[in-house]
Structure 1
């Protein structure tokens, strides 16, 4: 769960906890990586600030004019990707030249700025985007995590009415200003400057969250003691691909290169529909901010009780310890070494060991080595899904899992637990992780991981429920594999020791968009517009193509429907032959529903028209048009 500084600054546990890890030996900046040179994208999104000292200011605007005036001042201090990437490269190069010692003269202070839906609405003077179809990231962003808490598993001790920020009845947060620095004194100076600017323009600091890299033996680790930040995705056009394995990042075996649109608005995605967000949002990224409290002594005490229970039931070796069980529930040892490769013991005592993300679960489909409820498997299942192609090969990650990845920029808060220390080190002192993630789609990425993987008893799907995430999941039972048995499991009750203490959804605009927002140049509202799509096109369950007045959606019951802007049904395919697997637009001109074997179970009568397009019209109609513009079929829903 910890944040780490520069990849060679400090190592950093896996899964939904933040991510950096050690980088390959830095050399000349490679050609063909345009995103690395971007002065539009904020610097924390792709490059990552990677600093030892971090502080978040949650701000509330007093009014539009004052907010815009403040933004016009602070936007000039927001870091861009080019500057941060160059600094990180030079820092890594200098540190390696000094045999792992931080270069004394290399230090910087960075700022990032994002806005909640309410904040953007205040700056724009209305809705930041005009079209909000049900089930989309636009809806999730507008509602915010408190309204979606039950869907995300934020109930009981994690319920919004217990939150420190973002909950009901609390001040509205409009902006999140992140400051990160190599030196504590420089962070203090930057904070003084930003507090003064906020006060001058009448902004209220609603909440402050200090955080930073943990000291001593926990440097580069989270509060439970595990190295963090290993399974970060690579980004196409930012990270250099390996010539021998172009789908992986150079120097980081197992780190897949993901389409940039999974993290940036307006860029190509992996097998998913375009954003269809306003042009001013291009190069921006949706941000999740969550304060996750960790009960360190409670978690380790539970593991001691659990391993004793498992020994009594003959489910683990007699020599198994709480450390041994903790590694299996995490999926890694404290050093970051994967249990999949080192099942017996942690091979590294040195916390500075290189990160290993080259992990496969294809030969451990039943979770005999790494339990299926392990945090690492729950948040990034890799090839550990039972779905197979006809030739017996694992399902391709591209188009299946790559589009679920997120970029994590987290950082621990609070003092380490030490029963010999003072009150700030005691069991009741606040400590945990400030979880920060960037993605292009809140619903398809963060929320999907949280709802369908972490908080789901039946993921990955097996004969019996595997249980929730064994580290950050809610109270429940997991299926724990019996040691030495090929298929037996025992049920093990686990309690929740990581709780949500605050949450926000925000949007980090590009540098140009910050200027436009400050100048009042972002347009409000908008007119419906034709969405013209060429084959091949796939609509997965719940996905929608919206023109603003017509919404073509493949719905959860397996039927295809057109709804209007009020989400009222205007047309439906009426398929009743079972649950279809997908809706697709084929190159022969047909809009079809297909079953699990990819057979058409419903289709428009438009076969034999290569070059045809599917049009979700601004007039409310949905049509298939021939290459010459002739309407071949339509839903007759124009208004």
Structure 2
């Protein structure tokens, strides 16, 4: 009986058994240590194809990672939340830029015309910087990678449970690339923050709480099939929104060439965070409210204001459910993700400018459903640099490099990632209410704080303290496509 149920579940979740889709897209590496290697090809394609043939067997598939993650989660549950010491593995995935695909194909990847859905990929991130709000210190001329004069052909993502294992595999990959004549243009390492900060980003807030579920991969809740089992509020979105050639929420599956099937477009960004400045600003804005006599809930301080900017408290608890104070932690409880904005149309509880409302408006766009689902992206980011802690010594001070290695997958860069950037995050007239830009990752902005005691709103200024230091647009092909590219004459 148990075997029958397992087989039935497998049939309903066919994507979990995919040996075509690269593993980081749907299953996710979920490792504590990660490196991203940006590579440039030499002029001769022959050694590059030989390099690719040797690399392909090392690339992790969705089947491999889904099986490992399930085993790891079960073992961790049996150990009361402690990571199982015996389960250690290192994963590798590969994506190619437009230039890299063209090089390996020996021809134009889209020969007839640039079809809808790939314009951004073809043009590249540097040419699209203005669309994404990358201005001032964030312009491409200041980037560490992704500039037009420093071409990148391939992106290798390698992740491991242990730093030592990561370093060994990354070294092997660098040596193999060098022997084939490839150049490492840039390498970015990242790691989950230590101790109680694990799973948080450098500003201190729990990250990755609101990921989409994927139809055919994530198991629906039997009593609420719109959401993932065990993850209340995690809506299930058709796989075609992230992987090409599969059903989409609206319209037909992708009409791109067959070689794109089971592949996914990838955005890689290095986002530097000025932690002390951002928190100093939050404190200054909070004190401004006191000086101007704005009536606020008793006992609220800088944390209250920062939670309004993010839409969550540091623990990940939502402002929507906990408007005035962070609730006590409940070990083992699911993420606070069953959020609705229908009863908060003016943003008196979760402001319209709040980061989580800007990036995922949920049902707050009206009509009682979630039109934001078609704009969802799958995020696989990881922090880089040491936590801000001046008392801890070198590497922890205000001038040290720290931030987020932003990695995301989607089926259309322009329709999903760039739309989020230009129409929601950096749009001061979001929902035609002059709400201001996202005060966490957006450009300098005046936001309009509304409360039940302040229905008309109060203008507050937030300067930008997250800086873009590099962006790459790439495509993570299916394994069969990579094998075809490796064998081309």
Q: Which TM class, normalised by the smaller chain length?
A: over 0.9
Per the alignment, do residues 191 and 310 of structure 1 end up closer, same or farther by CA in structure 2, a change over 3 Å counting? same
Q: Any idea what SS the aligned residue of 2:270 has?
A: strand
What whole-Å deviation, never above 9, does each CA across 1:71-91 have from its counterpart, x for those lacking one?
111111000000100000000
Structure 1 portions without partners, runs of 5+: 1-26, 389-393, 522-639
Deviation at 1:422, TM superposition (A): 2.1
Query: Of 324, 333, 337, which residue of structure 1 is paired with 2:304?
Result: 324
- Structure 1 residues 96-136: Cα deviation after superposition (integer angstroms, max 9, x where no partner): 101111111111100010000011111111211224447x3
1:489 and 2:468 aligned:
no
Q: Where does 1:166-185 land on structure 2 (aligned, <5 Å)?
A: 166-169=146-149, 171-185=150-164
Q: For the structure 1 residues 220 and 163, does the alpha-carbon distance in structure 2 shift closer, same or farther, using more than 3 Å as the test?
A: same
Whether the 8 Å contact between 2:231 and 2:334 is mirrored in structure 1 is: no
Match of 2:439 in 1: 470
2:100 alignment partner, SS class: helix
1:304 matches 2:275: no
Quote the Cα distance in structure 2 between the aligned partners of 1:369 and 1:315: 16
Query: Aligned match of 1:161 in 128, 136, 141?
Result: 141
Shift of 1:320: 2.4
Counterpart for residue 525 of structure 1: none
- Alignment equivalent of 2:105, drawn from 124, 127, 132: 124
| Counterpart check, 1:105 vs 2:86 | yes
User: 2:344 aligned with 1:364, yes or no?
Assistant: yes
Label 1:351 to 1:411 Cα distance change in 2 as closer, same or farther (>3 A).
Answer: farther
Q: Secondary structure at the match of 1:147?
A: helix
91, 97, 122: which one aligns with 1:142: 122
SS of alignment partner, residue 376 of structure 1? helix
- Provide the secondary structure at the position in 2 that maps to 1:253: strand
Look up the match of 1:427: 398
Provide the residue aligned with 1:594 in structure 2.
Answer: none
Match of 1:43 in 2: 23
Tell whether 2:486 aligns with 1:518: yes
Alignment RMSD, CA only?
A: 1.5
Match of 1:401 in 2: 372
- Mapped partners of 1:436, 1:35: distance in 2: 21
The 2-side partners of 1:218 and 1:110 are apart by: 24
Q: Structure 1 CA distance, aligned partners of 2:283 and 2:31?
A: 34
Question: Within 2, Cα distance between the matches of 1:415 and 1:298?
Answer: 16
Alignment of 1:307-456 (within 5 A): 307-317=286-296, 319-349=299-329, 353-385=333-365, 387-388=366-367, 394=368, 396-397=369-370, 400-456=371-427
Task: Provide Cα deviations, 1:308-335, integer angstroms capped at 9, x if missing partner.
Answer: 0012223352632111111111011111
**CA deviation map 1:591-610 (0-9, x unaligned):** xxxxxxxxxxxxxxxxxxxx
Contact 1:58-1:173 at 8 Å conserved across structures: yes
**Who is 1:506 aligned against?**
474
SS where residue 371 of structure 1 aligns?
coil
Deviation at 1:409, TM superposition (A): 0.3
Question: C-alpha deviations, 1:563-596, integer Å up to 9, x for none?
Answer: xxxxxxxxxxxxxxxxxxxxxxxxxxxxxxxxxx
- Residues in 1 aligned to 2:438 and 2:300: alpha-carbon distance in whole angstroms: 21
Decide which of 185, 188, 210 is 1:206's aligned counterpart: 185
User: Cα distance, 1:250 vs. partner?
Assistant: 1.2
Looking at structure 2, the residues matched to 132 and 216 of structure 1 have their Cα atoms a distance apart, in angstroms, of 51
Q: For residues 442 and 83 of structure 1, do their structure 2 counterparts lie closer, same or farther at Cα, with a shift above 3 Å needed?
A: same
Q: Distance in 1 between matches of 2:422 and 2:295?
A: 30
**Are the structure 2 counterparts of residues 315 and 470 from structure 1 closer, same or farther at C-alpha, using a change threshold of 3 Å?**
farther
Match of 2:214 in 1: 235
Aligned residues: 481
Gaps of at least 5 residues in structure 2 are: none
Q: Give the whole-Å Cα distance in 2 for the aligned partners of 1:72 and 1:278.
A: 22
Q: Work out whether 1:265 is the aligned partner of 2:244.
A: yes
8 A contact 1:335–1:348 mirrored in 2: no
Question: Displaced runs of 4+ in structure 1, greater than 6 A?
Answer: none
- SS of the counterpart of 1:193? helix
Given that 1:335 and 1:351 are in contact with CA atoms closer than 8 Å, whether structure 2 keeps it comes out as no
Choose 1 or 2 for highest CA Rg: 1
Partner of 1:424: helix, strand, or coil?
coil
Kindly tell me: are residues 121 and 356 of structure 1, through their superposed partners in 2, closer, same or farther at Cα, counting changes over 3 Å? Answer: same
The corresponding residue for 2:223 is 244
Shift of 1:467: 0.4
Counterpart-to-counterpart distance in 1, 2:432 and 2:16: 39
Q: Is the 8 A contact 1:107 1:182 kept in 2?
A: yes
Identify the residue that residue 430 of structure 2 maps to in structure 1. 459
Q: How many angstroms apart in 2 are the aligned matches of 1:315 and 1:287?
A: 44
CA separation of 1:121/1:316 partners in 2, compared to 1, >3 Å: closer, same or farther?
A: farther
1:74 aligns with 2:55: yes
- Partner Cα distance (1:274, 1:249) in 2: 23
> Could you tell me whether the CA contact under 8 Å between 1:315 and 1:482 is conserved in 2?
no
The question of whether the paired residues in 2 share the 8 Å contact of 1:335 and 1:350 is answered with no
CA distance 1:416–1:120, change in 2 (3 Å): same
| SS at 2:431 equivalent | coil
Contact 1:149/1:159, CA 8 A, preserved across alignment: yes
Q: Is the Cα–Cα contact under 8 Å of residues 283 and 510 in structure 1 kept in the other structure?
A: yes
Deviation string 1:282-327 (CA, Å, 9 cap, x unpaired) is 0000000010000000000000100000122233526321111111
Matches within 5 A, 1:11-26: none
Q: Is the CA contact 2:232–2:334 (under 8 Å) kept in the aligned structure 1?
A: no
Matching residue of 2:271: 292
- Shift in Å at residue 353 of structure 1? 5.0
Q: Residue 423 of structure 1 aligns to a residue in which SS?
A: coil
Cα 1:340–1:436, aligned 2, differ >3 Å: closer, same or farther? same
Q: Is the 8 A contact 2:355 2:439 kept in 1?
A: yes
Alpha-carbon shift at residue 67 of structure 1 (Å): 1.4
